Amino acid sequence: MVDIMAQNAKAISVKGPDGRPLTIDDLPKPGVSRWVTRRKAEVVAAVSGGLLTQTEALERYDLTEEEFAGWSRLYSSHGRKGLRATRIQQYR
């Protein structure tokens, strides 16, 4: 029974893009209309660290799977700089 609970347990905090702990309260509020690199990186870090599931992030921020997958790919390849809207063509 403990193993099942451990598998379903969510992280309380994860390492954020700046190295500091990131909690659910630190994440961007739902309804964000302007996605700066810091906010994108926080959402990607929250999902990869288990703070949110991908489905929760997509619903909370009204994102498409393709949009989030692009953020994840660019962040893992190029870090926060890869998430800049002005650099997307350069990094793709």
Tell me what the mean pLDDT of segment 57-83 comes to: 94
Tell me what the mean pLDDT of segment 31-39 comes to: 92
Model pTM score: 0.81
Share of the chain above pLDDT 70, in %: 83
Residue 11: its pLDDT value, please?
A: 78
Residue spans of the domains in the chain: they are 2-91
Tell me what the mean pLDDT of segment 14-29 comes to: 93
Q: Is 5 exposed, middle or buried (0-12, 13-18, 19+ CB in 10 A)?
A: exposed
Tell me what the mean pLDDT of segment 32-46 comes to: 94
Q: Which CATH architecture has domain 2-91?
A: Orthogonal Bundle (1.10)
Mean of the per-residue pLDDT values of the chain: 86
Query: Which tokens sit at 19?
Result: 């190295």
Asked whether 87 and 81 are in contact (CB, 8 A), the reply is yes
